[in-house]
C-alpha cells in the first residue's frame, strides 16, 4: 500500500478549512457479499459473507468532503472445516486502505433528518493467504477503487449512526510476481454500520 500514504495526504490538503468542515470518526462493522476473485480459493470461501472491522476519518463541508477508510477482513479465504477435516487455508486476510471524495446533501437541508452521501476513491488492498500444504502462498498488494453511498443521522450534537454500501474492486492490470498464477483480481460489496462521532 505504498501509494496510499501520498494519496491520503493529498486528500487532507484538499479538505475544507477547519472552520467550515465537520470532522468525524466512524468505527464500523460490516459484512461482505457478492464477492469474486481470481486469487486461489482452496476453501471455496469467496461466496461466503465475511465480517469486516474498520474505521473512517471524515472531513465534511456543506456539500463536499474527504474520507480515509481502513477495513480489515480476517479469514476472508477461510471457512469452518467440517468435523474430522483439516482446513486447507491456515491464515488469510484482506485489508483495504482508501482515500475518497465525499459528496453529501447540503447540511442545512438535512439538519434534523438523515443526510445522504456518495463516496468514490482509490487506494490499496493487501491480500494474504497461507495454505496447509505450503504451496501457492499469497502476500500481494494491489490497487483498489471504491464506489458507494449511504446515510448518516445524529442522535445528539456529537453522536450519530451511519449506514452505507460500497463496492471495492481491484484495479485491473498485469499480475504481480506474488500472484503470477492467479491474476490478482478481487472485488466485493461491503455493507456497513458505523458509530459516528463528531468533534
Q: For position 75, what pLDDT does the model report?
A: 92
CB atoms within 10 A of CB 140: 21
pTM, two decimals, is: 0.82
Q: What is the largest CA-CA distance in the chain?
A: 61
Confidence class for position 1, pLDDT limits 50, 70, 90: low
**CA atoms of 109 and 180, how far apart (whole Å):** 51
Burial bucket for residue 122 (CB in 10 Å: 0-12, 13-18, 19+): middle
Q: What is the pLDDT of residue 16?
A: 47
Q: What are 183's three cell numbers? A: 491474476
Query: Is residue 54 pLDDT above 50, yes or no?
Result: yes
Closest CA to 156 of 96, 196, 183, 128: 196
Least confident of 82-91, 119-128, 129-138: 82-91
Q: What is the pLDDT of residue 183?
A: 53
pLDDT tens column, 146-175: 999 999 999 999 999 999 999 999 987 544
Q: pLDDT averaged over the chain? A: 85
The CATH fold assigned to 4-198 is Porin (2.40.160)
The domain locations on the chain are 4-198
**CB-CB contact of 76 with 51 (8 Å):** no
186 CB-contact burial (10 Å; exposed 0-12 / middle 13-18 / buried 19+): buried
Quote the pLDDT of residue 43.
Answer: 86
Amino acid at each position: 500500500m505504498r501509494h496510499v500514504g501520498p494519496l491520503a495526504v493529498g486528500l487532507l490538503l484538499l479538505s475544507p478549512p477547519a472552520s467550515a468542515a465537520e470532522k468525524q470518526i466512524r468505527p464500523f462493522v460490516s459484512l461482505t457479499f457478492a464477492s469474486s476473485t481470481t486469487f486461489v480459493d482452496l476453501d471455496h470461501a469467496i461466496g461466503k459473507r465475511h465480517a469486516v472491522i474498520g474505521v473512517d476519518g471524515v472531513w465534511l463541508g456543506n456539500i463536499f468532503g474527504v474520507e480515509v477508510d481502513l477495513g480489515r477482513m480476517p479469514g476472508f479465504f477461510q471457512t469452518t472445516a467440517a468435523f474430522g477435516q483439516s482446513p486447507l487455508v491456515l491464515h488469510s486476510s484482506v485489508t483495504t486502505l482508501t482515500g475518497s471524495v465525499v459528496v453529501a446533501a447540503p447540511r442545512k437541508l438535512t439538519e434534523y433528518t438523515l443526510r445522504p452521501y456518495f463516496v468514490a476513491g482509490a487506494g490499496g488492498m493487501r491480500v494474504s493467504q497461507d495454505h496447509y500444504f505450503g504451496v501457492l502462498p499469497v502476500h500481494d498488494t494491489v490497487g483498489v477503487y471504491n464506489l458507494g453511498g449511504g446515510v448518516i443521522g445524529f442522535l445528539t450534537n456529537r453522536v450519530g449512526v451511519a449506514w452505507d454500501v460500497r463496492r471495492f474492486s481491484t484495479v485491473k492490470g498485469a499480475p504481480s510476481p506474488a500472484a503470477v498464477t492467479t491474476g490478482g483480481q478481487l472485488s466485493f460489496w461491503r455493507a456497513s454500520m458505523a458509530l459516528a462521532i463528531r468533534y
